[in-house]
Amino acid sequence: MDTVLTLLLVRFGLVAAGIVVLALVVFAVALHFRRTGRLDEVRRYATPAVKAAARAAARRLEDRR
């Protein structure tokens, strides 16, 4: 039983660490674009993609019900 709990804890730790690293990378990229003055350009390109992804996620959630 201890082995299973240890494996679950290690898996949780790896997933949490991955999420933290991903957030740091996204923050660093956004900071780089802000410093170079290209954040508005990137935002203009990213907005339609984010809206489409949000709509697709909402549709998937509605289909589950």
- Number of domains forming the structure of the chain: 1
pTM comes to: 0.68
Q: Is the pLDDT of residue 65 over 80?
A: no
Contact 39, 30 (CB under 8 A): yes
DSSP per-residue codes, the chain: -HHHHHHHHHHHHHHHHHHHHHHHHHHHHHHHHHHHT-HHHHHHHHHHHHHHHHHHHHHHHHHH-
Q: What does the pLDDT read at residue 2? A: 85
Q: Would you place residue 63 in the very low, low, confident or very high pLDDT band (cuts 50, 70, 90)?
A: confident
Tens of pLDDT, residue by residue over 10-38, are 999 999 999 999 999 999 999 999 999 99
Q: What does the pLDDT read at residue 11? A: 97
Distances (CA, A) of 13 to 7, 51, 63: 10, 31, 32
Parent domain of 57: 2-64
